[in-house]
Amino acid sequence: MRLSPTGLGAKGGLFFAAVVLLFFATPYSNLFFLLTSFLAILGALGVTGSWRNLRGASAELLAIEPAPAGSPHPMRVRITMPKGRRAFGVLVHADAAGKSICIAELPVVSDGETVTAALKGMPRGAHAIERLRIRSRHPFGVCMAEQVVTVRGEAIAYPTPAAPEDPSQRGRGGDGNRPPGGDEESLAGLRDWRDGDSLRQIHWKATARRGSPIVKEYERHGGEGVDLVIDRRCDAASLERALSIATRLVLDAAKTKQALRLRSQDADLALDADRPEPAPLLRWLATASTLPHDAVAPPAASQRAQLLTVCAGGAAHA
């Protein structure tokens, strides 16, 4: 653990030195002796209190959620203290993008407490988080105690998704569980209403009989979903527009449980319709960069899938 003086502590040290000098330089030795003793005891209590407050503290990074570039990343951090003690006036910092960023301010922390924090918005990219710093100025603010914990995490700041009404998405599905993309579908059964279901999914006769909302659930037959091909042989502005459109399509596909495959010059990533996990695709979108115009073309799409090509000279077309 590291201890360092705060601004208040540095000023207090200068004041203490001035009082000690006056103790030897003036005839009022009794008065300055009492003041010197008081300041010395106060400083000693401040230093030992800061050390005891964070002694043995540790932290574990449990999760950090991807977020659009510039938006906060929700985080979960577990803080442990020895012998079930508590810590007071705790600041939690994360080292990311070459800076130490405060993610949480906690008046009191108990042993084993899971803290919900937020890392401020980052530019597009995948930003490594290598250390968590637990800091405190408790009790008197004259000294900063710091515990540094090595962790492994990554803040994925993916491109800001295009607005849902983007022209490239006209004619696409996305209501409830009904899959877009033109696959044949049939009614698989009925189930109770869940948050996020569309009103168009409601089975009105069953709802009237049950007395509570019942919705239709569909299953897909045939087709392989959507092939999303990104040609990165373009300028930076065109690539950003294409990545924004692609991000919207990936998020929509994950929400509606639609199969999607993302292809580019160095990528071939799939989104499973049954268990959609968009994190690998979002990470690639967060780190994608332009290629020279003489680079190789992206791989061809599947013949059975719906094709959407973006960033071919700044264009986007199906």
Which residues lie below 8 Å from residue 98, measured CB to CB, with a gap of 6+?
none
Q: Distance (Å, rounded) from C-alpha 177 to C-alpha 187?
A: 11
Q: Distance (Å, rounded) from C-alpha 224 to C-alpha 275?
A: 15
**CA distance readout (Å), 9 to 13, 56, 135, 140, 142:** 6, 23, 15, 9, 4
Which residues lie below 8 Å from residue 213, measured CB to CB, with a gap of 6+?
192, 193, 197, 202, 207
Positive or negative torsion for Cα 27, 28, 34, 39: negative
**CA distance readout (Å), 57 to 61, 93, 100, 111, 200:** 14, 14, 18, 9, 53
pLDDT higher than 60, residue 169: no
The model's confidence at residue 91, banded by pLDDT at 50, 70 and 90, is very high
The model's confidence at residue 131, banded by pLDDT at 50, 70 and 90, is very high
The model's confidence at residue 77, banded by pLDDT at 50, 70 and 90, is very high
pLDDT higher than 80, residue 309: no
Record the tokens describing residue 11, joined without a space.
Answer: 């000023």
pLDDT value of residue 23: 82
pLDDT higher than 50, residue 249: yes
> Of 288, 286, 248, which Cα lies nearest the Cα of 157?
286
The whole-angstrom distance between residue 236's C-alpha and the CA centroid of its chain comes to: 25
The domain defined by 1-157 carries CATH number 1.25.40 = no
Directed axis angle between helix 29-54 and helix 7-25, to 10°? 150
The model's confidence at residue 306, banded by pLDDT at 50, 70 and 90, is low
Q: Distance (Å, rounded) from C-alpha 289 to C-alpha 157?
A: 14
One DSSP character per residue, 183-234 reads -EEEEEEEEE--TT--GGGB-HHHHHHHSS-EEEEEEEESS--EEEEE---S
Domain ranges of the chain: 1-157, 167-182+224-317, 184-221
DSSP state at residue 7? H
Biggest distance spanned by C-alpha atoms of the chain: 99
Q: Which of 30-39, 77-86, 143-152 has the weakest average pLDDT?
A: 30-39
The whole-angstrom distance between residue 304's C-alpha and the CA centroid of its chain comes to: 36
Q: Distance (Å, rounded) from C-alpha 171 to C-alpha 180?
A: 9
